[in-house]
Chain A
Amino acid sequence: MFEGFDPVDLARFQFAFTVSFHIIFPAFTIGLASYLAVLEGLWLATGKPVYMDTFKYWVKIFAVSFGMGVVSGIVMSYQFGTNWSVFSDKTGPILGPLMGYEVLSAFFLEAGFLGIMLFGQKKVGNGLHFFATLVVALGTLFSAFWILSVNSWMQTPQGYGINAVGQFVPEDWWAIVFNPSFPYRLVHMVLAAYLTTAFVVGGVGAFHLLRNRYNASARVMFSMALWMATIIAPLQIVAGDFHGVNTLEHQPAKVAAMEGHFETNTDHPMPLTLFGIPNMETATTDYALNVPYLGSLILTHSLDGQVKGLKEFPRENWPNSTVIFWTFRVMVAIGFAMLGVGLWSLWKRYRGSLYESHWLQRAMILMSPAGFVAVLCGWVTTEMGRQPFTVYGLLRTAESHSPVSAPAVGASLVAFIIVYFLLFGAGTFYILRLMGKAPSPYEEDTPHQPTRTAGITPAPSLEGRNVPDPAE
Chain B
Amino acid sequence: MDFAVLWAFLIAFAVFAYVVLDGFDLGTGILFPFLGRHESRDTAMNSVAPIWDGNETWLVLGGGGLFAVFPLAYAIIMPALYAPIIAMLLALIFRGVAFEYRFKTVRGRWMWDVSFFTGSLVAAFCQGLALGTLVQGIEVSNRAYAGGWFDWLTPFSLMTGVAVVAGYALLGATWLVMKTEGDVHDIARRYAYVLAGATLAAIGIVSLWMAYLQPEFYTRWFSSTAQFASVAWVPLLLMVFAFSLFQSLLAGRHYRPFFSVLGLFLLCFVGLGINFYPNIIPPDVTIWQAAAPESSLIFLLVGAAVLIPAILIYTGFAYWIFRGKVREGEGYHH
Contact of A430 with B57 in the complex, beta carbons under 8 Å: no
B145 neighbours in A (Cβ, 8 Å): 85, 402-403
B74 neighbours in A (Cβ, 8 Å): 80-81, 85, 88-89, 92, 96
Contact of A114 with B104 in the complex, beta carbons under 8 Å: no
Residues of B68-88 whose CB lies within 8 A of A = 68-72, 74-79, 82-83, 85-86
- Contact of A412 with B82 at beta-carbon distance under 8 Å, contacts A88-B74, A107-B60 already known: yes
Q: Does A392 contact B (CB under 8 A)?
A: no
Chain A, Cβ-Cβ closest to B334: A60
Contact of A89 with B321 in the complex, beta carbons under 8 Å: no
Contact of A112 with B101 in the complex, beta carbons under 8 Å: no
B78 neighbours in A (Cβ, 8 Å): 78, 80-82, 85, 88, 402
Contact of A118 with B50 in the complex, beta carbons under 8 Å: yes
Q: How many A-B residue pairs have CB under 8 A?
A: 244
Contact of A115 with B293 in the complex, beta carbons under 8 Å: no
- Contact of A78 with B85 at beta-carbon distance under 8 Å, contacts A108-B311, A426-B101 already known: yes
Q: What separation, in Å, do the CA atoms of A109 and B49 have in the docked complex?
A: 17
Q: Does A120 contact B (CB under 8 A)?
A: yes
- Contact of A403 with B144 at beta-carbon distance under 8 Å, contacts A78-B89, A96-B69, A100-B303 already known: yes
Q: Does B59 contact A (CB under 8 A)?
A: yes
Q: Quick one: CB contact mask for B295-334 with A, threshold 8 Å, 1 for yes?
A: 1100110011001100100110110011000000000101
A95 neighbours in B (Cβ, 8 Å): 67
Q: Does A101 contact B (CB under 8 A)?
A: yes
Residues of B8-67 whose CB lies within 8 A of A = 49-51, 53-54, 56-57, 59-61, 63-65, 67
Residues of A400-445 whose CB lies within 8 A of B = 402-405, 408, 412, 415-416, 419, 423-424, 426-427, 430, 433-434
Contact of B97 with A426 in the complex, beta carbons under 8 Å: yes
- Contact of A93 with B60 at beta-carbon distance under 8 Å, contacts A85-B79, A88-B78, A408-B83 already known: no
B65 neighbours in A (Cβ, 8 Å): 96, 100, 103
Please report the total number of A residues contacting B with Cβ < 8 Å: 75
- State the Cβ distance, A113 to closest chain B Cβ, in Å: 7
B90 neighbours in A (Cβ, 8 Å): 415-416, 419
A86 neighbours in B (Cβ, 8 Å): 75, 144
Q: Does A77 contact B (CB under 8 A)?
A: yes
Contact of A77 with B303 in the complex, beta carbons under 8 Å: no
Q: Quick one: CB contact mask for A160-183 with B, threshold 8 Å, 1 for yes?
A: 000101010111010000000000
- State the Cβ distance, A172 to closest chain B Cβ, in Å: 10
Residues of A97-136 whose CB lies within 8 A of B = 97, 99-105, 107-116, 118-120, 123-124
Contact of B56 with A163 in the complex, beta carbons under 8 Å: no
Contact of B64 with A99 in the complex, beta carbons under 8 Å: yes
Q: What separation, in Å, do the CA atoms of A89 and B149 have in the docked complex?
A: 20
Question: Would you mind naming 18 contact pairs between A and B with Cβ atoms under 8 Å apart?
Answer: A71-B93, A77-B60, A77-B67, A78-B63, A92-B68, A92-B296, A96-B68, A100-B300, A100-B304, A104-B303, A107-B61, A112-B311, A115-B322, A123-B322, A167-B292, A402-B78, A402-B79, A427-B101
Q: A67-B96, A92-B70 are in contact. List 8 more A-B contacts (CB 8 A).
A: A75-B93, A82-B85, A88-B74, A92-B292, A99-B68, A100-B65, A105-B303, A171-B295
